[in-house]
Structure 1
Amino acid sequence: MGVLEKFIDLVKIDSPSDPASPTCPSTAMQLDVANHLERVMKEMGISNVRQQDGYVYGEIPATPGYEDKTSVGFIAHMDTAPEFNGIGVKPQVIENYDGGDVLLKGSGHILSAEEYPVLRSFKGHTLITTDGTTLLGSDDKAGIAEILEAAEILLQGGIPHGKVCLGFTPDEEIGRGPLKFDVAGFGAKLAYTLDGGAAGSIEYENFNADQAEVTVKGYSIHPGSAKDKMKNSQTIAMEFDRLLPAAERPQYTEGYEGFYHMTDIHGGVEETHCAYILRDHDSDKLAARGETMQKAAAFLNERYGEGTVTVEITHTYRNMKEKILPVYEVITVAEEAIRTAGLTPVTVPIRGGTDGATLSYMGLPCPNLGTGGCNAHGRYECNTKENMEQCVQIVLEIVKGYAAL
């Protein structure tokens, strides 16, 4: 069974996460994936296979004589995104893909090569798509399949290596992937997540992230006698938003540009609540965004009365770059592995978060590698057998790279 077959088996197991659930994992379906992985890993001969809180771990012991080499880990997540239907995935496998449009037979939608020109680079590949009624789950079951395929090759012998650690996590899509990850028990000195993106991509810069909760207090009175008395918290909240830089919203930014993003607003005349996420790759600039919000609140409090607007800011996650630079070999080894696999390394800043960022701050330096997939979280998600095979080769070359140090 190769990487394609491993992947197909995985995507057929439903496993969307649920942000409204307080449990870990957030959905029982993810335990179906965890149980499948635990069984498969044991059958493969992986050592110390164990499951805890829906997390699955395993190890491949070092080749005799290589016990002193750096222990390296590979991590992928089991859940699929809750934003689009992930129940009942029926993958379409198209051999010798012609590089053109693809009919998604379950829904009649067209995966368009004009709209998604990356498809043309997949000509001649074995393309895997959805049937149009669900997402595919390449994010991140491609990562799991690639890690398992690399592990199977290592277990066959012939590639000397240090200890290799494997970890599969729940609830990454709802920001809880590292919540109960056992860094100490995992046993690796450093690791890589395999999670989305083109084969050959490396990501080790992500946003710094804060959450801002804005509360606006008003005063409700009958509108017929409201003159000089009513304070409509809803319109004051709108004023607050207009005091923030309009050009620094997600729809106007790219690359290293940060943003303010209102994710929720609800309330009435008497009280309104707004939720914002603040993002910036530069921690000082992120702090300045929080200060701008506090200044806007102070301005409105001077106009409408003290306590009208309050802003509470909490930290969410931080840019992993700070933790990666001191151990930069984690990047140079990966870059060389990608070149050896016949690709050109591409490093881009993540305009979002990653489990690897949190794990890096938990003491496990952990950049991200691509898995070959594209168009994640929707009906047009796809990947190819050849992309996944290249990602497997990159994993193996990374293992070789650390064995040679």
Structure 2
Amino acid sequence: MDFTASLSFTVTDRFLRYVQIDTQSDASSPTTPSTEKQKDLGRLLVTELLEIGIADAHLDQYGYVYATIPANTDKPNVPVICFCSHMDTAPDCSGTGVKPIIHKKYNGDDIALPDDATQVIKLADHPDLKNQLGNDIITASGNTLLGADNKAGVAEIMDACYQLINHPEIKHGVIKILFTPDEEIGRGVDKADIAKIGAFAAYTMDGESAGNMENETFSADGAKLTINGVSSHPGFAQGKMESAIKIAGKIISALPDSLSPEHTSGMQGFVHPVDISGHVEAAVIDFIIRDFEEDKLSEHANVIRSVADEVLKSYPNSTYMLDTHQQYRNMKNVLAQHPQIVDYGMEAMRRAGLEPKLCSIRGGTDGSRLSFMGLPTPNIFAGEHAFHSKQEWVSVQDMQKAVDTILHLCMVWEEKG
């Protein structure tokens, strides 16, 4: 039965509503959520879930939204599955005053954004646009990001909830819903209650092109390099001063280009200095270290040590210390133990009329950490493109295909249960 052709989608209206709510997270804030305004969207989602008829929908003190759609199948052993998206938008670009624009029936031309003449979404720079001819493209107006990352995923899950409640002919087991704060600053599941979710598997809706499914992420470490130099009055510094600031600069300059994010792609890892602070006597460089192979993280850290050792040869009275810490690990290590989770996702996309493609993420998702918290979680496309920028865009038709995929996925799990 092809039920999706007759659906009245609500995803676009929901998306247009959600992106106008400012939900930027803030890495400098110690609270959860990092910004209270994220709860503005959370409260709206709870209200809409309750209106749909999902009685247990609620927002907790940490800004997480939880909800349950009861099973409507007679089969007793269908595994519980969860769908998850994050509500926050990235701090990289303003999320205040988003003005979404629908560009009907995209014809292949560049898209000029009206509020900033320098912001032009060019087909040459966004090759995925070639797959959108005739589709309806949603952008922001040029002064802000759009927020498709990840409000496209939020809207898709919300529409799927609406369809599941209003179409009881779609048979499914228990479905759990989770909307998280602070994913963009790496704290998206810090306070997630895995026991409350109670699912066997989950799917984040936070990917790019329609048909993509991601079962592999980077493994990630953070590293802090502390340099202890020698301070002296600058008027009497000859032969005495060893500036930690200058040492830090030389270390950064000496890092190999072959291990930098701007010179790597595909399955290559990188070492990336993301922050530097300090003064003459002491300076600190913060790094992120990434690779798909966990064993290579220590090798990359050793590159930092080797560079520091070489630079410090010219500063005999200075020292350094490198501390590394784990951030997240490649979710493929967990998903490989439960191959049906990915297989069912691929089957759902085929049933939705897509040609599924299994991909690796040069980054992480909430699913990276959820997988290692006992909830195996691959990532499914949401249709978002050029995220974290003023040229962010998504198509109406891709969001609708994502809703179709969610619904088919619920049915696949019910059939196999």
TM-score, normalised by the number of residues in structure 2:
0.92
**Contact persistence 2:245–2:280 (CA under 8 A):** yes
Inter-partner Cα distance in structure 1 for 2:31 and 2:351:
42
2:28 match: secondary structure: coil
Aligned partner of 2:106 among 91, 97, 108: 97
Separation (CA, whole Å) in 1 of partners of 2:120 and 2:248? 42
Q: How far apart in 1 are the matches of 2:331 and 2:317?
A: 39
Whether contact under 8 Å (2:68, 2:176) holds in the other structure is: yes
What is residue 76 of structure 1 aligned with on the other side? 85
Give 2:158's match in structure 1, choosing from 139, 148, 159: 148
Give 1:5 deviation, angstroms.
0.9
Q: Which residue of 1 aligns with 2:12?
A: 4
For the 8 Å contact 2:242–2:317, the answer to whether it is kept is: no
Partner residue, 1:132: 142
Q: Decide which of 117, 122, 130 is 1:112's aligned counterpart.
A: 122
- Give the 3-state SS of the residue equivalent to 2:45 in structure 1: helix
Corresponding residue to 2:264 among 250, 253, 264: 253
Aligned to 2:3: none
Aligned to 2:35: 27
1:66 and 1:160 in contact (8 A); partners too: no
Residue 180, structure 1, aligned to residue 188, structure 2: no
**CA 1:269–1:385 in 2, change beyond 3 Å: closer, same or farther?**
same
Instruction: Give the stretch that moved more between structures: 107-116 or 280-289.
Output: 107-116
Matches within 5 A, 1:246-325: 246-298=257-309, 304-305=315-316, 308-325=319-336
Displacement of 1:340 in angstroms is: 1.4
Query: CA–CA distance in 1 between the matches of 2:144 and 2:253?
Result: 38
Offset from partner CA, 1:57-90 (integer Å, 9 cap, x none): 1111111413410111100011111111111111
CA, structure 1 residues 360+307, in 2 after alignment: closer, same or farther (shift >3 Å)? Answer: farther
Bigger drift between 288-297 and 59-68 goes to 288-297
Tell me which residue corresponds to 2:386.
375
C-alpha deviations, 1:322-375, integer Å up to 9, x for none? 111001111111111111111111222211111100111111000111111211
Aligned counterparts of 2:317 and 2:412: Cα–Cα separation in 1: 61
Which deviations, in whole Å up to 9, do the C-alpha atoms of 1:159-216 show, x marking residues without a partner? Answer: 1111111111111111111011111101211100001311111112111111111111
Check conservation: 1:204, 1:349, Cα contact below 8 A: yes
Paired-residue identity, %: 39
In the alignment, which residue of structure 1 is the partner of 2:4?
Answer: none
Question: 1:297: how far off?
Answer: 4.3
One-letter code of the match for 1:402? W
- Asked if 1:122 corresponds to 2:135, the answer is no
Q: Take 2:234 and 2:149, find their aligned partners in 1: how far apart are those partners?
A: 52
Equivalent residue pairs, number: 405
Work out which of the residue numbers 41, 56, 72 in structure 2 matches 1:63: 72
> What RMSD, in angstroms, separates the aligned Cα atoms of the two structures?
1.8
- C-alpha deviations, 1:283-328, integer Å up to 9, x for none? 1111112233334445566664576111111111111111110011
User: Offset at 1:267?
Assistant: 2.5
Q: Which residue of 2 aligns with 1:54?
A: 63
2:172 aligned with 1:161: yes
* Structure 1 residues 47 and 328, CA gap change in structure 2 (3 angstroms): farther
CA shift, 1:103, in A, is 2.8
The structural deviation recorded for 1:266 is 2.7
Contact 1:216 1:308 in 2 (8 A): yes
Give the Cα separation in 2 of the matches to 1:87 and 1:67: 47
SS of 1:43's partner is: helix
Q: Distance in 1 between matches of 2:372 and 2:406?
A: 23
Per the alignment, in what secondary structure is the counterpart of residue 151 of structure 1?
helix
The 1-side partners of 2:195 and 2:267 are apart by 33
Q: Does 1:361 align with 2:376?
A: no
Q: Distance in 2 between matches of 1:302 and 1:375?
A: 43
The alpha-carbon distance between structure 1 residues 172 and 301, as it changes in their structure 2 partners (threshold 3 A), is: same
Q: Which position in structure 2 is the counterpart of 1:38?
A: 46
1:396 to 387, 393, 407: 407
* Cα distance, 1:103–1:227 mapped onto 2, change above 3 Å: closer
Distance 1:64 1:215 in 2: 58
Runs of 4+ in 1 over 3 A off after TM superposition: 222-228, 238-244, 294-307
1:230-272 per-position Cα deviation (integer Å, ceiling 9, x unaligned): 3222333244335543321111100111111111223333222
Distance apart, 1:116 and its partner CA: 2.0
Structure 1 unaligned spans of 5+: none
Counterpart-to-counterpart distance in 2, 1:233 and 1:218 = 5
The answer to whether 1:234 aligns with 2:239 is no
Q: Which moved more, 1:286-295 or 1:210-219?
A: 286-295
One-letter amino acid matched to 2:202? A
Tell me which amino acid in the other structure corresponds to 2:86.
H
CA contact (8 A) 2:83 2:202 kept: yes
